[in-house]
Structure 1
């Protein structure tokens, strides 16, 4: 039998085994590809271009995952044959060596008693592969840099991380979208009120008695700073956006960006803008992969990095939710401090100055990091649970496990039902509007018009340049004839 100590090769493997395994793998792959393709056709049919682009982003992540898997497979033998000195492999371990020895004895006993001959055969193959590596590096009095089994577990972890991240992002946008959809009744009711109202009649609005101001105005000075931030922090848990908030922010946006269209459908625009941002959130950017590598580096026995790192997205999410609520509070204070009574409706002034660094997009970056970090935590938990068991030393004690699960669930729920809807409406209070303000057909028309205008300008410039050159040539000929006659 060929293959040495690593088990039989394909030359000595039954053909029916190869055929069955290939059929299952190809069937699963084709089913996943067809599902994504059908989802793309459905989104195209419904004219959901932002969500369709998000789906393409998911395909890109899966393609990147496939390429990583290919690299891991191709270079597995070479990497596992890199030999290092034994002493450098005894430091920075996720589990102590004493615990590892005990675990190996338990696994061996469990496999022999439960699965009998089949498990024993599988374990002997793995042991044979390990002995082959040890023999290769043992001749040099060294140990392998990464074993075949550890290499396989790393491969599975990357796959689980990508799948969990995409799934959590999809759940967030779905649940958040359902929450935002509940605001549509406010949009419809207000549009109906505009149609029934007498446009000639002008009313006087007492600022201090307006619901929007009463909910968010907390005085001036020190009292405002303390109560304003405290109120903003608590509001994200109970009532993140009220009817008066929605209608006031809506009017501020329309007055600033589309004053000539008071019946503008703000809700539809907000949903389109959120879908446009979602395609950026669903991806795993390069800096997020750097975070994964840093976590793997710090996951050392006794440091409990997997526990403390769970608080990073937790505190970030609270900070983002508080800041978004505080933007609404600032808008209310600006109006209340300047006016006692105004003619017409209460109007707030959108501005980038209310956001961190004057950039509303920075909030989207933080939400992207929060979603990835939370997905990473849950993916790591599921991977350890399935791969090594609930009692694994990497998993830690119960007092570390339960808080991680609670925090992960809390982040997912709060981000879906509070922070994401807040982000959808508050980020429209920036100085600029997004291209989603136009329908897809209008955007395509504007893009086509811009291209034609550029081509027309280029042709005019070229013709002008050509005319100038011809005139120059004719003048040169005239001057030459004049010189000759002289």
Structure 2
């Protein structure tokens, strides 16, 4: 390692200073460019008052920092890991690739890099001391320097792919929901009031397109046909104009006191943005999935081929369930009423969802997106690092279906399932805080702050026996602004009793 010997690797003692300066400059410049890009993106989102997306960006920064810290730990403890030795018997168990020569310990150490260039092999020279240490004991290192280096690269690839796929998800889902805007505009143009609705004549339930499309009239004895229809419905016209109109009215009548001017479309956009920040993160249970997937990558098992079906099957189950919720809403109305007065109104309820909790659907979508990102990230990593012909990659007959499933899951989840989730989960018993506009949030925050201050002041006065209530000077200075905000709150018809989700 020392000196300028012919075949030996040189350290910083014998590396030209201009080389070190140039390399550091490039790395620092790239890092600062990424940091500035995230910074200005955050400023743009704050300027546009996209608070949920800004919080999602902060979540992305946290995930990048976490993955960077994991990579740093691997670097710091690299030498320590190299000094840990295990028996040769254990080193031959559960290998991703079949060993060609069992008598060569060095071949096992390079099994992860057998298809790479000579640059990866030179990394082993840096761990020669630890290798000699293990050889003296008749053992092999726990993890070679090359394998550790490639693990660094995989963590980086996983972070990039996951963040990229999350961005694509929100872009495709938002694009799909914005296509429904003309439905909202058409409804708003009617400009009907409650008196006009009361004057509307009675109509047969079966005459409504929502009932004809969603209610099969088979009762509860043949529920299998209802589930079968829900399964195929998610692939074509998952949400129609009649679905949107009926569920919009059901939400407004239940949570907004029948306010016809409530913009349901804007509310769905805000709700989707708020849910996106929960989809971006890599939670602890997702890291458990990563460890399990890496553990099962054994030669001959084709584990990654079978694992690729998990997000696909989960996606089909989620889409089918969401479509079935719409069918249940139609069935409830059709079974309870033979005729309705005015527009058809459905009754939102948490009972239609798994365990009476609509948020479970978002949890499953989170798992689907991460597992799919992990699958494709692992494919790209193996392809770039070891080539397409690597034994870790597997046979072509297993690779092509994995890629097709991965692309299909990403497209369906982004363009179909997420928009379907955004509207169907509004059919729960509770509403999300995104129902309020940003200025209403600010007004409620000011009101809550002042209420808390007054309560604390009254408590202090009671304890001290004082007959006067202290007044906060900030409260006095803000008194001119409060009536406007309070008026906004009082005149906003969306504010009412139900508890938020």
> Scaled by the length of structure 2, what TM-score is found?
0.87
How many residues align? The count is: 460
Aligned to 1:392: 390
Aligned to 1:402: 400
Deviations 1:409-466 (Å, cap 9, x if unpaired)? 1101111111011000000000000000101111121022112112211211221232
What secondary structure is seen at the aligned counterpart in 1 of 2:191? Answer: helix
What secondary structure is seen at the aligned counterpart in 2 of 1:238? Answer: coil
CA shift for structure 1 position 123: 6.3
Q: 1:190–1:145: structure 2 CA closer, same or farther, 3 Å change rule?
A: same
Alpha-carbon distance in 2 for matches of 1:30, 1:223: 63
Matches within 5 A, 1:230-309: 230-309=228-307
Would the aligned equivalents of 2:154 and 2:381 in 1 still touch at CA under 8 Å? yes
Alpha-carbon distance in 1 for matches of 2:349, 2:114: 65
Q: 1:99–1:292: structure 2 CA closer, same or farther, 3 Å change rule?
A: farther
Aligned to 1:225: 223
What secondary structure is seen at the aligned counterpart in 2 of 1:237? Answer: coil
What secondary structure is seen at the aligned counterpart in 1 of 2:235? Answer: helix
Deviations 1:220-240 (Å, cap 9, x if unpaired)? 335651221111100100110
Deviations 1:329-387 (Å, cap 9, x if unpaired)? 00000000011101121100000000000000000000000000000000010011111
Would the aligned equivalents of 2:121 and 2:146 in 1 still touch at CA under 8 Å? no
> Scaled by the length of structure 1, what TM-score is found?
0.90
Would the aligned equivalents of 1:218 and 1:224 in 2 still touch at CA under 8 Å? no
Alpha-carbon distance in 1 for matches of 2:120, 2:294: 27
Deviations 1:122-176 (Å, cap 9, x if unpaired)? 4673342353332121122221100000001111111111111111011011011
Give 2:358's match in structure 1, choosing from 337, 357, 360. Answer: 360
What secondary structure is seen at the aligned counterpart in 2 of 1:176? Answer: helix
Aligned to 1:78: 80
Would the aligned equivalents of 2:193 and 2:260 in 1 still touch at CA under 8 Å? no
Would the aligned equivalents of 2:86 and 2:141 in 1 still touch at CA under 8 Å? yes
Aligned to 2:161: 164
Give 1:69's match in structure 2, choosing from 68, 71, 80. Answer: 71
Alpha-carbon distance in 1 for matches of 2:438, 2:273: 13
What secondary structure is seen at the aligned counterpart in 2 of 1:143? Answer: strand
Where has structure 1 moved over 4 Å in runs of 4 or more? 3-6, 99-105, 107-111, 195-198
Aligned to 1:26: 28
Give 2:129's match in structure 1, choosing from 121, 129, 132. Answer: 132
In terms of fraction of residues, the more helix-rich structure is: 1
Give 2:150's match in structure 1, choosing from 142, 153, 159. Answer: 153
Q: 1:194–1:174: structure 2 CA closer, same or farther, 3 Å change rule?
A: same
Aligned to 1:483: none
Gaps of 5+ in 2: 468-501
Would the aligned equivalents of 2:192 and 2:260 in 1 still touch at CA under 8 Å? no
Alpha-carbon distance in 1 for matches of 2:244, 2:338: 22
Q: 1:260–1:347: structure 2 CA closer, same or farther, 3 Å change rule?
A: closer
Would the aligned equivalents of 2:115 and 2:387 in 1 still touch at CA under 8 Å? no
Aligned to 2:471: none
Would the aligned equivalents of 2:214 and 2:326 in 1 still touch at CA under 8 Å? yes
Deviations 1:18-65 (Å, cap 9, x if unpaired)? 111111111110110011011111111111000010001001111111
Q: 1:110–1:154: structure 2 CA closer, same or farther, 3 Å change rule?
A: closer
Aligned to 1:39: 41
Would the aligned equivalents of 2:109 and 2:144 in 1 still touch at CA under 8 Å? no
Alpha-carbon distance in 1 for matches of 2:448, 2:120: 67
2:312 maps to 1:314 = yes
Would the aligned equivalents of 1:356 and 1:362 in 2 still touch at CA under 8 Å? yes
Q: 1:123–1:276: structure 2 CA closer, same or farther, 3 Å change rule?
A: closer
Bigger CA radius of gyration: 1
Would the aligned equivalents of 1:6 and 1:129 in 2 still touch at CA under 8 Å? no
2:343 maps to 1:345 = yes
Would the aligned equivalents of 1:99 and 1:393 in 2 still touch at CA under 8 Å? no
What secondary structure is seen at the aligned counterpart in 1 of 2:340? Answer: strand
Deviations 1:243-276 (Å, cap 9, x if unpaired)? 0000000000000001142210000001100100
Matches within 5 A, 1:50-69: 50-69=52-71
Alpha-carbon distance in 2 for matches of 1:284, 1:131: 36
Aligned to 1:464: 462
Q: 1:227–1:99: structure 2 CA closer, same or farther, 3 Å change rule?
A: farther
Farther-moved stretch of structure 1 (394-403 vs 92-101): 92-101
Aligned to 1:474: none
Farther-moved stretch of structure 1 (458-467 vs 436-445): 458-467
Q: 1:123–1:166: structure 2 CA closer, same or farther, 3 Å change rule?
A: closer
Aligned to 1:2: 2
Q: 1:334–1:146: structure 2 CA closer, same or farther, 3 Å change rule?
A: same
